[in-house]
Amino acid sequence: MLIVLVTACCLLQWPLVATGWQTGTKPHVFYAVEMDGGTHVAQALAEEHGLEFISRVKRVQRQHPHIRDKRAAVRGLDYNTHHKEQQNKHTVETEDQQGQSLTFNDPLWPMQWELFNRGQYSSSHSDLNVMPVWSRNITGDGVVVSIIDDGVDHTNMDLKRNFEAFASFDLRGSHGLSHDPMPLRDEENSHGTKCAGEVAMEANNSYCGVGIAFNARVGGIRLLDGKVTDSMEATSLTFNNDFIDVYVCCWGPRDDGQEMTGPGRLTQKALMLGTHKGRGGKGSIFVWASGNGGLLNDHCGADGYVNSIFSIAIGAVSHTGDPAFFGEPCPAVMAVSLTGDTLPLVTVSNLGDGCVKHFAGTSSAAPIAAGILALVLQANPDLTWRDVQHLIAITAKVPNPKEPGWSVNGAGYHVHDRYGFGLLDAGLMVQQAIHFQAVAPHRKCTKKLNLDPVRILPSGGEVCVTIQSAGCDGMDSEVNTLEHVQVKMSLSSVCRGDLSITLVSPAGTVSMLLGTRRNDASTAGLRNWTLMSVQSWGENPHGAWTLKVKDNKGTVGGCLRAGSEKAAGALLSVALLLYGTYNPHRIRQDTLMPNNVQERFGSSASLHGTAIDFSFFHLAGSGIRSRGVSVRRTSLLTHDGSHGESTPGFSYACLLTAVWSVPSSPTC
Ligand SMILES: [Ca+2]
Ligand SMILES: [Ca+2]
Ligand SMILES: [Ca+2]
> What are the residues facing 347 on neighbouring strands?
356
The answer for residues whose C-beta is within 8 angstroms of residue 196's C-beta and 6 or more apart is 145, 147, 152, 159, 218, 220, 348, 367
> What are the residues facing 489 on neighbouring strands?
529, 574
The predicted-structure confidence for 93-140, as pLDDT tens digits, reads as follows: 444 444 455 789 999 999 999 999 988 888 888 899 999 999 999 999
SS (H, E, C) 510-547: EEEEECCCCCCCCCCCEEEEEEEECCCCCCCCCEEEEE
- Cis upstream peptide for 399 (omega within 30°): no
Residues shown for the chain: 668
A 10 A CB-CB count for 53 gives: 18
Over pLDDT 90: what percentage of the chain? 67
Residue 239 in contact with residue 177, Cβ under 8 Å? no
CA-based max dimension of the chain: 85
Helix (H) or strand (E) holding 610: none
Pick the ligand that lies closest to the CA of residue 361.
Answer: 2
User: Average pLDDT for residues 530-551, to the nearest whole number?
Assistant: 97
pLDDT of residue 39: 82
Taking the centre of ligand 1 as the mean of its atom positions, its distance from the CA of residue 94, in whole angstroms, is 15
For 5-61, list the strands marked E by DSSP: 7-15, 28-36, 52-57
Residue 536 in contact with residue 475, Cβ under 8 Å? no
Domain covering 443-581, topology: Jelly Rolls (2.60.120)
Domain extent listing, the chain: 7-57, 69-434, 443-581
Taking the centre of ligand 3 as the mean of its atom positions, its distance from the CA of residue 188, in whole angstroms, is 27
Vertex 225 angle, CA 223 and 228, to 5°: 60
Instruction: For residues 150 and 156, give the distance between their C-alpha atoms in angstroms, rounded to a whole number.
Output: 15
Pick the ligand that lies closest to the CA of residue 532.
Answer: 3
Instruction: For residues 410 and 363, give the distance between their C-alpha atoms in angstroms, rounded to a whole number.
Output: 32
Helix (H, G, I), strand (E, B) or coil at 67: coil
Taking the centre of ligand 2 as the mean of its atom positions, its distance from the CA of residue 262, in whole angstroms, is 10
Instruction: For residues 578 and 443, give the distance between their C-alpha atoms in angstroms, rounded to a whole number.
Output: 8
SS (H, E, C) 148-208: EECCCCCCCCCCCCCECHHHCEECCCCCCCCCCCCCCCCHHHCHHHHHHHHHHCCCCCCCC
Taking the centre of ligand 3 as the mean of its atom positions, its distance from the CA of residue 272, in whole angstroms, is 12
Helix (H, G, I), strand (E, B) or coil at 491: strand
Residue 183 in contact with residue 194, Cβ under 8 Å? no
69-434 domain in CATH 3.40.50.200?
yes
User: Average pLDDT for residues 267-288, to the nearest whole number?
Assistant: 97
Taking the centre of ligand 1 as the mean of its atom positions, its distance from the CA of residue 105, in whole angstroms, is 8
Taking the centre of ligand 1 as the mean of its atom positions, its distance from the CA of residue 347, in whole angstroms, is 9
pLDDT of residue 60: 64
Model confidence, pTM: 0.85
Pick the ligand that lies closest to the CA of residue 198.
Answer: 1
Residues assigned a catalytic role: 149, 191, 363
Taking the centre of ligand 2 as the mean of its atom positions, its distance from the CA of residue 311, in whole angstroms, is 15
Residue 260 in contact with residue 496, Cβ under 8 Å? yes
Residue 180 in contact with residue 418, Cβ under 8 Å? no
Pick the ligand that lies closest to the CA of residue 392.
Answer: 3
Neighbours of ion ligand 2 (CB under 5 A): 255, 291, 293, 298, 303
DSSP string, 208-263: S---TTTTSEEEEEE--SS-B-HHHHHHHHHTTTTT--EEEE-EES--SSS--B--
> What are the residues facing 218 on neighbouring strands?
145, 163
- Read off the pLDDT band of 16 (50, 70, 90): very low
pLDDT of residue 613: 24
Instruction: For residues 358 and 375, give the distance between their C-alpha atoms in angstroms, rounded to a whole number.
Output: 24
The predicted-structure confidence for 381-440, as pLDDT tens digits, reads as follows: 999 999 999 999 999 999 988 889 999 999 999 999 999 999 999 999 999 999 999 999
The predicted-structure confidence for 487-537, as pLDDT tens digits, reads as follows: 999 999 999 999 999 999 999 999 999 999 999 999 999 999 999 999 999
The predicted-structure confidence for 45-102, as pLDDT tens digits, reads as follows: 888 888 877 777 666 667 889 999 999 866 544 333 333 444 344 434 444 444 455 7
The predicted-structure confidence for 574-615, as pLDDT tens digits, reads as follows: 999 999 999 998 866 544 433 333 332 332 233 333 222 223
Instruction: For residues 272 and 237, give the distance between their C-alpha atoms in angstroms, rounded to a whole number.
Output: 10
The predicted-structure confidence for 142-193, as pLDDT tens digits, reads as follows: 999 999 999 999 999 999 999 999 999 999 875 566 889 999 999 999 999 9
A 10 A CB-CB count for 534 gives: 27
Taking the centre of ligand 3 as the mean of its atom positions, its distance from the CA of residue 634, in whole angstroms, is 24
Residue 386 in contact with residue 438, Cβ under 8 Å? no
Taking the centre of ligand 3 as the mean of its atom positions, its distance from the CA of residue 77, in whole angstroms, is 28
The candidate with the shortest Cα–Cα distance to 252, out of 201, 301, 202, is 301
Residue scoring higher pLDDT (660 or 388): 388
Alpha-helical runs (H) found in 544-585: none
Instruction: For residues 374 and 213, give the distance between their C-alpha atoms in angstroms, rounded to a whole number.
Output: 6
Taking the centre of ligand 3 as the mean of its atom positions, its distance from the CA of residue 476, in whole angstroms, is 25
Pick the ligand that lies closest to the CA of residue 202.
Answer: 1
Strand-strand pairing, 499-504 and 510-514: antiparallel
Helix (H) or strand (E) holding 384: none
> What are the residues facing 462 on neighbouring strands?
550
Neighbours of ion ligand 3 (CB under 5 A): 308, 311, 313
A 10 A CB-CB count for 617 gives: 19
The candidate with the shortest Cα–Cα distance to 457, out of 540, 362, 314, 569, is 569
Pick the ligand that lies closest to the CA of residue 200.
Answer: 1
